Amino acid sequence: MQLQSWQAPGGSEELAIRFGPNKAPRLLVLPAWFDESNKLRHFTIQTMRLLEKRGIASVLPDLPGCNESLALMQEQDLDSWRGAAASAAGKLGCTHILAIRAGANIAPALPGFAYAPLAGKSALRALLRARTISAKEAGREEKSTDLLELGKAEGLELAGYELGPRMIEQLSGAELPSESALTEIRQAELGGPALWLRAEPEHDEAQAAALAALVARGLVE
């Protein structure tokens, strides 16, 4: 595993984790978002390790506003993340994509794979639902429709992330690309329940091995 830096279009210096030999094909791994990113982080890194054992290089960049990034999350939107993903693909020498869950919404026009892709509007709906449940448990009542309108006007804190109004606006209508170069990998193909549905972050080595095998097979077909 190696760390390397790259510059996002907005000017921020971002980090990326790289595995594998310094040769093509190199996968740009676009991670799951928000609360799902924490639940799938170990799974994502282990999949990259297993791909390395198969001679496949991969790189996982921080999106601006996430992880070690010094960019402000509330200043990000889907356009800035799409630009960052495209820039990372070019600057880090990537030839293929592995987009995980909502990461498929920002995938640049390269061939590759989308694991259990999730539309941006569905990701936002889940965040709003989680906030209303948390509020109810705390003795407050919040409605998703009211939160959505507030978020579009002022921004909103969801699952610990400070999302700006433009991000909320764009997510609220974000569909998965109707035309995509990515081959979908369904959760059922990994054999086991989805890790993002578990209450706490957990790992499943068998699922990581299954995903790595499907990606490796797809790259040589």
Its sign, for the CA torsion 52, 57, 62, 63, is: negative
Q: How far apart are CA 191 and CA 21, in angstroms?
A: 29
pLDDT tens for residues 144-169? 999 999 999 999 999 999 999 999 99
How many domains does the structure of the chain reveal? 2
Say whether pLDDT at 180 is over 90.
no
What lies within 8 Å, CB to CB, of 56 at 6+ separation is: 20, 25, 27, 215, 216, 219
List the domain range (segments joined by +) for residue 182: 2-118+176-220
What lies within 8 Å, CB to CB, of 144 at 6+ separation is: 125, 128, 129, 132
pTM of the model: 0.94
Domain end call among 138, 155, 175:
175
Task: Tell me how far CA of residue 31 lies from CA of 80, 153, 192, in angstroms.
Answer: 16, 28, 20
CATH of the domain at 209: 3.40.50.1820
Which stretch of 53-62, 67-76, 109-118, 192-201 has the lowest confidence by average pLDDT?
192-201
Say whether pLDDT at 207 is over 70.
yes
Give the pLDDT mean for 77-100: 96
Say whether pLDDT at 126 is over 90.
yes
Q: How far apart are CA 22 and CA 146, in angstroms?
A: 49
165 shares its domain with 187: no
What lies within 8 Å, CB to CB, of 16 at 6+ separation is: 3, 4, 5, 6, 59, 60, 61, 62, 88, 92
